[in-house]
A and B are shown apart, each in its own frame.
Chain A
Amino acid sequence: MNLDARRYVILAFILMVGVLYTSRLFYMQVVDDQWVLRAQEIAEKRWEITPPRGVLFDRMGKKIVSNRTYYNLMMIEAEIHDLDTAKFAKLIGWTREEVRNRFKEIVRGEGTYYNKNTGKRTANYQKIRAYPFMKELTLEEVARIAPHLDNFKGFHEEVTSMRSYPYANGANIVGYLSEVSQEEIDEDHFYKPGDNIGKAGLERFYEKELRGRKGIRYIVTSAMNNAIESYADGKYDTSALQGPPLKLGVDIQLQAYGEKLLKGKRGCIVAIEPSTGEILALVSSPSYDPNLMIGKRNISMYYPKLLLDPNTPLLPRPLASEYPPGSTFKLLNSLIALQEGVITPEFGAPCNKSVVGCHNHASAGNLADAIKHSCNPYYYAVMRRIVQQNRKKSVFADAEVGLSRWVDYMKSFGLGHTLETDITGLRPGRIPDVAFYDKWYGHHRWAFSTIRSISIGQGEVTITPLQMANVAAIIANKGWYYTPHFVKAIGANGPLPEYRKKHYSKIDTQYYDIVIEGMRRVVYEPGGTGRRALLKDIVICGKTGTVQNPHGEDHSTFIAFAPMDKPKIAIAVFIENAKGGGGLWAAPTASLMIEKYLKRKITEKEREKTIIDAVFSYMR
């Protein structure tokens, strides 16, 4: 037996292991990159720091949406020892069952993670990590709990920021925040489960501005999930940046006053500054206190109630309710007829009640008086002249041409399509066109007599209160408008570019003077339908409307602007199912709003009291 040769066996054995290990190390460290990913999973964490949301100011610089500190009660399971569930449940005011279920819910809520490398499915939940056990506690609530937390190892409080609305007004303007849905997370990787997102109103429209920029810190963490140090000395870190403050055109005091006026009534008020298109107030009644919609707990408590309320407080009426405009529409038909040259300002027509009902007044001998009296037969005559211009032999073909021309004018007033206002929930309203009637009655099977109700703003026409207010603004401006908008400044910048672009109506300026004179007479001349809007030292130009509708009493509506020269406010008031016409409810409401805005005080105390005290039967 050659024992000396055995040294080679041993040498070969050692060298073989050396070669084997070297090749394995080469494979692991150089060839295969799964270990790098695994190491990153283990040690490198991405920490997101959510900045407080941008805040909102009104036109006077009052903070109307701010952030408030709230607290989450956090839990780290690994640090919990011998938890006295009964005592703990008592402390936080839950039942033991609820405490136990909450633990399960947290674990389930984290979901599972599928590792492609190992083919294993593991729970994301980690015992060593902190999870919110109770969310969104107020300072008062946490002050009651926190002193006793020493007895419950593994629980601690953590600061979080949530919305606060110092003025409980304008809920339908600002909207609310709520937790992101899975679809929203999939769509935009900015969000993580549990993040908040604007769900309605300005919070939603300006979400990208308000949310700011998340700060990202890459850190190396320990097995206990403690941060040890910045990854690569913070080279890749970004700091959190709060969203810019938004300055609104809204006057929160005017808004609050409007909400006060409409208490007990369903309806809307929209006030616009004609020279800028800034919305001064947008009242939707009934409304709700936006502070009810802060945080998951509140939302789950109040949202269902608000949703089921028959008077629909969550509906932003001024944006989404499409009402027939009623007699306010006559202003537009007047302008179109003048522009088309089918009438002159001196055009007169008898108040022939056999065609359509009207109230008792002297026949209008000119356009301004027709507006003052809001004479229905007069506007039938006007509308007939617009629609049937005798350009075609067939009455049907003729109506088609006339209506098309009419529709073009209406569109130039921002009607029949959604305004590009900076809020969500807008509806377009409807200006019936040729295609619409063809669909209803058939091609060439309708003429003026079929569609005549549009001449007085009834029938197929619908427009939203926001559009109505915009019409008032167009008349105040004598032919142009900026798209109504809420936000006049984003941080140091002005409004969005689309609100710096003037839109023109297809009506020449001189025709507005005639209509405006009519609107003055509505308020200031005996026999005018809007006498109750009269103010002593402000000249209001307005137009009433009494809208017949299938839901009950007539709607009361009024559009106006003031003062007559250099208008500062254009307004539309719409009160649903008010007993009495536009002159009775909407006109005085509008005048109070105008006085409030322009004078900051109310002289017509009696008028104010009547409106505020009125509570309609459907609200009881």
Chain B
Amino acid sequence: MRKGDSLVAHMDWALFATYIVMLIIGMATVYSVAYNEDHPNIYEYSEKYGKQLVWLGISLFLGLMVFLIDSDIYRKFSVPIYLFTLFLLVIVLFTPKINGARAWLGIGSMGVQPAEFAKIGTALLLARFISTVNVKQQNIQTVLIANAIILMPMVLILLQPDAGTFVVFTSFLFVMYREGITYDPLILRVINRIPGIRFKSTWVGGHFIPILFVVIMLSVVTLLMSNEVLEFSFLPNVKVPGFYSVVATLLLISLLFLIFLRVVSARRERGRATLVVILGFSMAAGLSSVVNYGFQGLRSHQKDRIELFLGMKEDPNGKDYNRNRAMAAVGSGGFLGKGYREASVSSVRSNHVPESETDFIFCPFAEEWGFAGTFILVALYMFMLVRIIIIAERQRAVFNRVYAYTVAMILFYHFAINIGMNIGFAPVIGIPLPFFSYGGSSMMSFSVMMFILLKLDSQRRDVLQ
């Protein structure tokens, strides 16, 4: 009993409450978007909300199971769990295609997507592996193993193919970065071949991952914005090229950084910090302009190809259609929204936004609740992510910390890409919005992921490190 008491007492109630609030909002949104007058009862199993409610119940039950199992089991059994999810990823490749991908295991509507659970397996094994690594003495082997853990499921997922989940797996790179896994052994092996050069470590090697991501993200955002023209209802006749808004945003972020650093950093470091921020801004702005003007200068067929890939252009597969419809739905929400169950563009019945109950569920939410709602939603996610990082950093065990970071980064990826494609900031990649999108696999996997985290955290004091 004492143990049970401490379990509940040591659980992070703030995170748990955020999770529950999100589930409730998500359930309400699914009910609203899929609402059918003939079956208004939320328990109606023939409707999507009825099914979602069942998934929700199963998820909470699984969560309870997870919570009751001793936390040490996840570390101990991380290898079999990982291998089991890999096994599932292999056998799913022998199933018939559904919607152009071999992603579903199971019968009829009760199928599950192994890729969703592979995230958990990979997270556990990566945590296990990194917890055994001495960061100070890394060699080529550590880098390769860490990357192989991630790459194996990624390759299998790409074979399905499921581009969305594939991209999500790159979130593990951030965790590796946090844990100090460096690409230096690889880079040094190349660079030190050059006569006269003998580096022990490189800045690029250590910060390889964030640099890569900043470059990719900035490029994508710049490309997406470079064809846009911004107009303001209160400033008629003022038209600003979309690219300027990227630079303006970078400037804003840099200023915020400057202020932040002046508050946080020690006096003698301020000069250097200011220099870093200014340098960072100039490089980012430089990169953005190179991408923008380079893109504008491309020949039209090359431009077409990029636009097609990013869903900026009308194409036979209708990426542009989804994006435009989704943005119209979100943008028409106004400040306070159209009201619950009043989404005229993105309800399932109107079907103007395809997949509005799954990958595009942010649409009906934004249309119904307006900026007031989306602000709260973004704030909730921010709170959850920051909370998970706080939890991660208070762990004594490296395993726990790495695992917590993987949860944070996976959630962050889903959040950033899913909402990004609704507001024109991300290409249309089909991944669910955690705790909101209709679908059993994502609901279960995110819940299990969350409960493992809560369990590890509640038992953090038991770990002697």
Contact = CB atoms under 8 A, between A and B. Distances in A.
B332 A39 contact: yes
Nearest to A3: B180
Interface string B321-354: 0001101111111110000000011010111100
Interface stretch (B19-27, B73-81, B114-122, B378-386): B378-386
Contacts of B328: 35, 38-39, 42
A97 B429 CA distance: 45
A222 interface: yes
B177 interface: yes
Contacts, number: 146
A14 interface: yes
B345 A21 contact: no
B425 interface: yes
B352 A222 contact: yes
B178 A10 contact: yes
Given A9-B210, A30-B335, A221-B350, A21 B370 contact: no
B382 A15 contact: yes
A3 B178 contact: yes
How would you classify the secondary structure of chain A's contact residues: helix, strand, loop or mixed? helix
A9 B210 CA distance: 9
Nearest to A38: B328
Contacts of A38: 324, 327-328, 331-332
B330 A25 contact: yes
A308 interface: no
Interface in A1-54: 1, 3-4, 6-7, 9-36, 38-40, 42-44
Nearest to A20: B249
A1 B381 contact: no
A29 B416 contact: no
Contacts of B208: none
Nearest to B350: A222
A220 interface: yes
How would you classify the secondary structure of chain B's contact residues: helix, strand, loop or mixed? helix
A355 interface: no
A21 B420 contact: yes
A16 B419 CA distance: 14
A1 B138 CA distance: 13
Contact of A22 (B367, B375, B386, B389): B375
Contact of A39 (B331, B349, B385): B331
Interface in B366-412: 366-367, 370-371, 374-375, 378-379, 381-382, 385-386, 389, 392-393, 405, 408-409, 412
A492 interface: no
A239 to B, nearest CB: 23
A563 B126 CA distance: 116
Given A3-B180, A30-B335, A38-B331, A25 B378 contact: yes
Contacts of A11: 386, 389
Contacts of B393: 4, 7
B48 to A, nearest CB: 17
Interface in B235-271: 249, 253, 256-257
Contacts of B213: 13
A1 B180 contact: yes
Contacts of A18: 378-379, 381-382
Contacts of A1: 180, 201, 206
Contacts of A9: 177, 210
A32 B352 contact: no
Contacts of B347: 228
A36 B334 contact: yes
B174 interface: yes
Contacts of B234: 31
Most buried by B among A1, A25, A221: A25
B371 A29 contact: yes
B27 to A, nearest CB: 22
Contacts of B367: 39
Contact of B350 (A15, A19, A29, A223): A223
A44 to B, nearest CB: 6
A21 B415 CA distance: 10
A29 B351 contact: no
A224 B375 CA distance: 32
A18 to B, nearest CB: 4
A110 to B, nearest CB: 19
Contacts of B334: 29-30, 36
Nearest to B232: A31
A40 B345 CA distance: 8
B350 A25 contact: no
B72 interface: no
Given A22-B378, A39-B328, A32 B232 contact: yes
B345 A29 contact: no
A27 B253 CA distance: 17
B231 interface: yes
Contact of B233 (A25, A33, A39): A33
A25 B425 contact: no
A295 B174 CA distance: 72
A25 B374 contact: yes
B325 to A, nearest CB: 7
Interface in B126-179: 135, 174, 177-179
Contacts of B371: 25-26, 29-30
A35 B331 contact: yes
A19 B379 CA distance: 9
A282 B99 CA distance: 73
B350 A228 contact: yes
Contacts of A40: 332
A431 B371 CA distance: 75
Contact of A25 (B180, B232, B351, B375): B375
B352 A43 contact: yes
A220 B350 contact: yes
Contacts of A36: 331-332, 334
B210 A29 contact: no
B39 to A, nearest CB: 16
Contacts of A13: 174, 210, 213
Interface string B415-450: 110011001110000000000000000000000000
A464 to B, nearest CB: 57
Nearest to B372: A29
A42 B256 CA distance: 39
Given A35-B327, A36-B334, A220-B344, A29 B366 contact: yes
12 contacts: A3-B178, A17-B412, A18-B379, A24-B423, A25-B371, A28-B331, A28-B423, A29-B330, A32-B232, A34-B231, A38-B327, A228-B350
Given A23-B249, A43-B344, 9 more contacts: A4-B393, A10-B178, A18-B378, A24-B423, A30-B371, A35-B332, A38-B327, A39-B329, A231-B344
Interface of A: 1, 3-4, 6-7, 9-36, 38-40, 42-44, 220-224, 228, 231
User: A-B pairs with the 10 shortest C-beta distances?
Assistant: A35-B331, A39-B332, A38-B328, A28-B331, A29-B371, A43-B344, A223-B351, A18-B382, A39-B328, A222-B350
